[in-house]
Amino acid sequence: MVEFGGTGVMLLGVTASAVVFGLLGLLLARSLGWVSAISIAGFGWSLAVIGLVTLVPTSAHTGIVAAETRMATCSWDIGGPAPEGFWIFESGQRTLNTVLFVPAGALLLLAVARWRSGWLLAPLGLIGLAGYSALIEKTQLELARIDRACDVTDVVDNVTGALVGAAIGLVLVVVLQPWRHRHRRSSARNG
């Protein structure tokens, strides 16, 4: 049986995806400007990190979860029992679930702010983040082998984090004005 999981696997995945999305950011920087390029690449990387942290088994020695002990449905106990600590952060699991989606919400707003369609893309992206969270929970339910529990509270916490991130993103959009960066560079060349 092949063993897969643990913090080391997660960190390796986070590092490998950082390289891939870093290269994407470099490719996009020339045409979109550094703010939009970093935002788009960072948003993609944050989605990869979320997937790695939530879908890679916490231990390589998880073993096999017997079908009769596997949960048949998601827990609907909103705010119900969650472990007090997490193997990466000492804070509660609910805090981690919230914090995990904050960068995605902020980077989403920065990524779409340069286009006029951003007013439509931002809400659709937030709905997409909520769907991504629900898909992760459904995957955790179906793949009992990864020894994760499907919990509706996680979706609530993830969406809360995405909304907090979106609020931070709004402030960053006003400060960084991503639509101006490419324009300044091209006007400097023409002038």
Give yes or no for residue 80 having a pLDDT over 60: no
- With 0-12 / 13-18 / 19 or more C-beta atoms within 10 angstroms meaning exposed / middle / buried, residue 96 is buried
At residue 73, the 3 state secondary structure works out as coil
How much is the pLDDT for 92? 73
How much is the pLDDT for 145? 64
**Could you tell me the two tokens for 127?**
């709905």
Q: Which amino acid is at 75?
A: S
How much is the pLDDT for 69? 62
Q: How confident is the model at residue 135 (pLDDT cuts 50, 70, 90)?
A: very high
In order of 1, 64, 70, 104, 188, the CA distances from 60 in angstroms are 11, 11, 19, 27, 54
pLDDT tens string 105-122:
999 999 998 888 989 999
177: left (phi over 0), alpha (psi -120 to 50) or beta: left
Query: Can you tell me the mean pLDDT for 30-40?
Result: 91
At 52, phi and psi to the nearest 5?
-65, -45
In order of 14, 61, 76, 86, 149, the CA distances from 34 in angstroms are 22, 42, 42, 35, 39
How much is the pLDDT for 169? 94
